[in-house]
Structure 1
Amino acid sequence: MKHVVLVLCIFIISCKTTNVQNNSEPKPEAGVDLTMFYTPQELTKIEFIESTGRLIWIKDSLAWQATDILLEAIDPAQLKNSKGWVVHLNKPESPTVTFYQELNQKLDVIADVVFDKNFQNPNLILAPERTVTKREYNMVTALNTVRSSLKTACSPTVNSVVLPMENGWQVYILTATKEPGVIPIGGHKQYITSPDGKTILSEEAYSKSCIKLQEPKDPTIAMGLTHIVDDFPAPTHVFHNLQTGFIFYIKTEKGIWKIVEGEITLLQDT
């Protein structure tokens, strides 16, 4: 997986002018940015998709960097009862990837990999002398509740991202691949759990099949696909756009969307 240079992202939602289109107004031409025609509800959803996709990208990128660092320092065969990892961004000055295991029926920290505020200069701390917080415990519980519920997946192994929400946790299960030049666009899912992480409240699949895209050799060529499970692109489409750098065109029932540098634009309304 190629190295991604991350820039600290502060999610400040800027105001946009919104006009609700009625039947008497002319329909915009194909290829025209339809931002001004979004309803307030659509704007809210688009902003959620963009910010969530960016967070997934940041957390996934930090996680694989931290995993490589940890596996260079320890023998994975020595680890017992692993409970996975969680990326913590609640302290912007020290984003941290923490690896967990269960020892004597108690959640324990294997290691912390601490980055600086610009997501650079990772520092590995093995067996840190600290206790697991309630927030950590709930996040790890949510992660393992979801993972234990998985019956099918589009790859032998999956990656995961846990994001906080007002009353619970969002757990994203991401299809993984080791095939060079392949983008595993299908099989990603979002789960919502209870605040204690013990109960799955809902789940949403972002595709109906295990779609794989082949990266074009020309970086100026855009990627295109049809998305049939929603009228809007998924957060994972934003994630793949940021991860690969390729422009994405997503066709839904609502129209054709363009994703560039994590930003979504409706180009053509149906």
Structure 2
Amino acid sequence: MRREGCVPLSPNVLRGVCGMIRRTFAWLFAVSFLWTASAVAQERPAQVQAFSISETGRLGTAIWRQDVAAARATDALLAASGGQPPQGLIGWIVIPEGDGQRVRFLSGEISAPQAFKDVVIDSQLKAGPVIDVAEPALSVDEIAQFAARNTAAQAIGPLRCAARYNAVMLKDPEGSGWLVWLLASTTQANVVPMGGHYRFHISADGQTVEKREQLSGGCLDMDRSQAQRGGQTVGLVTNIVVAPQPLEVHVYLSLLNRLPIYAMAGDKIWEVQGARIREVTPSARR
């Protein structure tokens, strides 16, 4: 499994990070208040489900791998079709395949999708050739996965932190249905969308929203240059108001941006370096 940019910090650097976090504690709570105030006059979001630390790391890695697979498969598809999406394309799903993933592009009607073209992404997240699908009929699970994506997209709600959202769909590890993440995205190289992500619990047939979870207090775009201290990559600092620990989106963002993320949740400080999550509250390290 690939790890990107998740390097251990020296004790001196880590102590410096913790000092920086303590100095910015009050500022971050002020920022979290401004997120909520600026986010279309909504109530403070409810607390969301937090998985175990190990499961959070696994889910965040799976989200990152699927998101990267979809992006690289899309690049391959566009390259093979002259830079334009093929006519009739209505979306895609990602299917696990051994150590890799099969990105299946769909055509037809939203209510009756068919397999159109496939791109296999290997375990190193490299895209293979675009393959014309011989059998267009989808399995029951594939139909449900695509339906779950569309069901979540229709229920996103008023807080829109990005012009475009990326979707990731995985089997719910604690149920029979689907987990769908709608992830705020950006085309700006130095911007990290720390807020504005959603998690949906969708029924097994993909048709019903069982729970909608807003994974931040509001919108927040962070500048990657904030991760630099004294010429070293230290990390980005954020505040979590919807859970007592980092969430899978923080693992995803750490992997995607090749940066450590330091998160304050309750009275604890956490370090997220890819799938590795640990508490670094100063008092906990004495």
TM-score (norm 1): 0.78
Say whether residues 1:154 and 2:161 are aligned partners. yes
- Conserved? CA contact 1:86–1:139, under 8 Å: yes
Select the residue among 207, 211, 215 that pairs with 1:206: 215
CA drift at 1:188: 0.4
- Conserved? CA contact 2:61–2:274, under 8 Å: no
Distance in structure 2 (CA, Å) of the matches to 1:253 and 1:210 = 20
Say whether residues 1:193 and 2:174 are aligned partners. no
Distance in structure 2 (CA, Å) of the matches to 1:112 and 1:219 = 41
- Conserved? CA contact 2:197–2:249, under 8 Å: yes
1:15-36 CA-partner distances (Å, limit 9, x unpaired): xxxxxxxxxxxxxxxx7xxxxx
Structure 2 counterpart of 1:231, one-letter code: P
Say whether residues 1:120 and 2:149 are aligned partners. no
Return closer, same or farther for 1:104/1:162 CA change in 2, 3 Å cut-off.
Answer: closer
Structure with more contact order per residue of length (Cα contacts < 8 Å, sep ≥ 6): 2
Return closer, same or farther for 1:180/1:117 CA change in 2, 3 Å cut-off.
Answer: closer
- Conserved? CA contact 1:49–1:235, under 8 Å: yes
SS in 2 for 1:226: strand
- Conserved? CA contact 1:115–1:123, under 8 Å: no
Say whether residues 1:247 and 2:254 are aligned partners. no
Distance in structure 2 (CA, Å) of the matches to 1:255 and 1:125 = 49
CA drift at 1:118: 3.8
Q: 107-116 vs 202-211, which deviates more?
A: 107-116
Distance in structure 1 (CA, Å) of the matches to 2:51 and 2:156 = 30
Select the residue among 156, 168, 172 that pairs with 2:177: 168
Give the unaligned 5+ runs of structure 2: 4-17, 19-49
Distance in structure 1 (CA, Å) of the matches to 2:273 and 2:156 = 32
SS in 1 for 2:52: helix
CA drift at 1:117: 4.0
Structure 2 match to 1:72: 79
Structure 1 match to 2:28: none
Aligned length: 231
1:161-201 CA-partner distances (Å, limit 9, x unpaired): 00002310000000010112100111100000110000000
- Conserved? CA contact 2:72–2:126, under 8 Å: no
Return closer, same or farther for 1:117/1:81 CA change in 2, 3 Å cut-off.
Answer: closer
CA drift at 1:219: 5.8
Structure 1 match to 2:244: 231
Say whether residues 1:134 and 2:140 are aligned partners. yes
- Conserved? CA contact 1:112–1:128, under 8 Å: no
SS in 2 for 1:180: coil
CA drift at 1:126: 2.8
TM-score (norm 2): 0.74
Distance in structure 2 (CA, Å) of the matches to 1:241 and 1:184 = 11
Select the residue among 85, 92, 97 that pairs with 1:85: 92
SS in 2 for 1:183: strand
Structure 1 counterpart of 2:255, one-letter code: L
Structure 1 counterpart of 2:178, one-letter code: W
RMSD: 2.5
Say whether residues 1:54 and 2:61 are aligned partners. yes
- Conserved? CA contact 2:271–2:277, under 8 Å: yes
Distance in structure 2 (CA, Å) of the matches to 1:81 and 1:119 = 23
Q: 151-160 vs 68-77, which deviates more?
A: 68-77
Bigger fraction of residues in helix: 2
Select the residue among 221, 224, 235 that pairs with 2:234: 221
Select the residue among 188, 205, 213 that pairs with 1:179: 188
Distance in structure 2 (CA, Å) of the matches to 1:230 and 1:112 = 38
Select the residue among 243, 255, 261 that pairs with 2:274: 261
Q: Identity rate of aligned residues, in percent?
A: 25
Distance in structure 2 (CA, Å) of the matches to 1:114 and 1:79 = 21
